[in-house]
Structure 1
Amino acid sequence: MDVDTVLDPDPPTTAALREAALILIATLALASPIIRTELTDDPTVLPLVLLCLASPHVGTRYGACQAVRALSRSVAATRTSLVDSGVGLAVFGLLRRGEDRRVRGAALRAVCNLVVEFSPLRTVFLEGGLMERVMEFVRSADPPLHLGALWAIKNLLHRAPLDQVRSTLRTFGWDRLTELLTDEDAEVREQALHIVKNVTETTAGVDLALHKIGERELLTALCEALAASSDDVVLQAVCVVSNLANGTAPQQDALFAHPQLLGLLRACLGERSAGLGERAPSARGASSGRSAAGGSERAAAIRRPALGAVLALAHASHERRRAMVEAGLLSTLQHICERTGTGAGRWEHVPRDELEQARAAVDWLEHGDFYE
């Protein structure tokens, strides 16, 4: 592709081929970090993508946005190449102006990757009016745009300073966030919970969430989410619970004020995990082997923060430990350590660090009174 001719008027067939080539770049780059590095290190690629972002053809702009989305999954590229080349700012420019629906959606997904905490463009985009544009998409009746906007909010809040968290959620609206925590759409609910997870990564963030959402409202939403059928919803909910459990004593009190939560944590450690690998394959036709492997990975992802939460809570008082034992947490932890019990195979490949956490939690639940 000749850089000097990219912006010249093209017949439809040439524009279609260019779009296809860009989509191919995006597909290959998404699949391999090695390919992403090779593409961003090639001095001819990003200048071509930049010119394609300014093409008069909708399909070419769409393909270029998809390519940026894929290439921005590279940490190094997000920190340097996509900034220095002007590609990041060009994508943001497409997002800010009135655009074709497909281009808007692709540009939004690219921008989501460009506002992660290590990206120099996060501050640039915020100063350039990103939140105002994202809020338009939050209120959109177009589900992909609405979901993409939530994804952007989530990434903006990851490891963000508290003043930025306050500012972002003041614009987004705490009441809106509270409503989305119980949204019927599992994907929307997952993103709302992930937003709360990012907010509660610090004790100050936990206090802020408990105050703004309300302790009762937040814990009720978390209990409902932990019992959800969506693995992704459960994962984000248990991560929030882990953040609270690893917080201050008053923050832990919020968890113990909802006794059913302990039983739900136990399910995340064991009973629920047993069925994750046995669910029906997705509509995309995944084989039973891949489905089982994926279920095992999801079970492990859910178990990790649950173990962290249980271990932290086991350091609480005698009364709290007794409540945990009565909820069945001790017996489940013992089964994990011994890899015994009904469906013991689910714990056969528990990593060493998780086994150590489980053993430590058992020790505290059995002998914690002697350690105080």
Structure 2
Amino acid sequence: MTVDDFYQRFQSIYTGDQGLFFGEIPGSDLLLSVDATGGVIDRGIGFSLSKQGKKWFAHRIDSPQEPKFYVGSETINPAKGFYGLFQPGSAYYGAQYRASDHISKIDHWAYLLDVTAFCESDLYINLINTYDRARFTFGFYQLAAHTPRDNLILFFRAALVESEFQELFPDLALKGGRVFRVAEDGTETDLEKETFDPASGEDQLQAFMEYMNPTRKQIDEQEILQSARLIWWANTSTKCAEIQADVSASILQGKMANRYAAWYDLDGESDIVCAIIADIHHQGRGKKADVRNALATANKVNALLQIGKTAYPVRVQALTERIEKWKAAGIMGVKRYRLGTNEFQ
């Protein structure tokens, strides 16, 4: 049937003037053909996926000596809008972030990362969740997929220069410093294109979110495969932890210099005060006015630790304990932030 015949057929059936859409269904270029058995792998490192109850496991198919590994457990809670995978605390496993491993490269920032990571992930490098509005979150600092020029997309930018990561995600490529998905037919999709989300009032990386987790309210094999790929790399490569630390430190340094120091005049302030402020904003449990009011009190640390404590008592308690650990060790509470160098001295 010619295009004109096709058009005239529907023009005669329906009232009003009809229109034709040429191209693929929006988002279809981000869907992967996932063979959960691992039987059909065209390129790169392949995994088989298996389910036991609500738990998902994966196994690298070209490495039979490797045991299968835990990916995550399904959670469906329509009341909270949760649909996806997570790892309950009782199932955490694998390597953990150690601040001392990264001091030589990121200096004192390693400990500011530590106190927030302790609260976010109990320091586990392979932690994922795919159930909330971010669609996908990964690592000890819980880098989210939805934020433009920030978080998980920055990890992918850095990781894609590594040959093994390229084998894990063979359909991704860096072009002009941006992450693209390149389909088998050569179609290129810019995963860093920003899209305005009316619900949140923010710009988001909709294409990247859909590539990592195609459907918001459904658990599908693509998000399980993407989780398995990242978890396997975190379990087997020290490079994953190194890149997570470097990217997370860069994010925190940027926010300290360009946001927090400007908002609160932090030049000369204690590293403990800076660490608590960073954690408040990382979690989003307080507003700028709350922080300013706390900084105006005689005991800044105690006042800052009260922000969000009623709603998040476990989080604040964990933060308090971690800071006390490093304070007792003589590591925190002895340095101050210097705006001129964006460092602690």
The question of a shared fold, defined as TM-score above 0.5 by the shorter chain, is answered with no
Normalised by the size of structure 2, how large is the TM-score? 0.27
Give the structure-1-normalised TM-score: 0.25
Q: Which has the higher helix share?
A: 1
